[in-house]
Chains A and B, each alone.
Chain A
Amino acid sequence: AQRVTQVQSTGSSQWGEVTLDCSYETSEYSYLILWYRQLFSGEMVFLIYQPSFDTQNQRSGHYSVVFQKSFKSISLVISASQPEDSGTYFCALSELSGYGNEKITFGAGTKLTIKP
């Protein structure tokens, strides 16, 4: 069964590096781990993804991940954080199926507060 677990909330100060942790359960060999941010409007915005087969940690803008496949854990790292980075961040798992990676299982989200 798929399961994704996240810390409920965390905080940091402006310009600091923030790490959001995520652990997951899957019995599949091929999968994606995705990170989304939910805006105050409710819209989910895709940030970055890590394929299970890729040993290289992915980077996108000021987001990067630290992928520890053997521990089934992944962290989202936000560099030079700003107050506008505050919000709820979701870790999600997508297992490869016959239709590709279409179904996503989300964690409960981590509420991040960045103080000026």
Chain B
Amino acid sequence: EAGVTQSPRYAVLQEGQAVSFWCDPISGHDTLYWYQQPRDQGPQLLVYFRDEAVIDNSQLPSDRFSAVRPKGTNSTLKIQSAKQGDTATYLCASSFPWGGAYEQYFGPGTRLTVL
């Protein structure tokens, strides 16, 4: 069974540029999470979905970040006008219906560098 896949694996931008990250969760997983992991820190939840609905986006910087999951499968996280402080690894995870925190399966992440 394929795991969570993410693309691209790496991205390098100048400040002010936009970037999109794509995540394909494990088949059958209804819940999808996006985390931001700055260097030498733990992952921090940005937003999560159940099917196509946003359950919690309270930690998503809404002025420049957006996330969608239109058909309840794949998801896209977009940063408009990136800043150096956005430099981090962006992790996607998915889980079964009512799977619980310990059953989140993580992808390899997208490592973003903003110059």
A1 CB → nearest B CB, Å: 13
Are A4 and B42 in contact, CB atoms less than 8 angstroms apart? Answer: yes
**A interface, size bucket:** 20 to 34
Which of A34, A104, A106, A108 gathers most chain B CB within 10 Å?
A: A104
The answer to whether B111 touches A42, judged by C-beta atoms less than 8 angstroms apart, is yes
| CB pair A49 B102 closer than 8 Å | yes
A108/B56 in contact, CB under 8 A: no
Q: Which residues of B contact A4 (CB under 8 A)?
A: 42
Is A104 within 8 A of B109, CB to CB? no
Q: How would residues 81 to 114 of chain A score, 1 for a CB under 8 Å from any chain B CB and 0 otherwise?
A: 0000000001010100001111111111100000
**In the complex, are the beta carbons of B101 and A94 less than 8 A apart?**
yes
* A104 with B104, Cβ < 8 A, contacts A42-B91, A42-B111, A90-B42 known: yes
Which 5 residue pairs spanning A and B have beta carbons closest together? Answer: A106-B42, A94-B101, A44-B106, A42-B109, A101-B101
Subset of 10 A-B contacts with CB under 8 Å = A44-B43, A45-B106, A49-B102, A92-B101, A94-B100, A99-B98, A101-B101, A101-B102, A104-B43, A107-B42
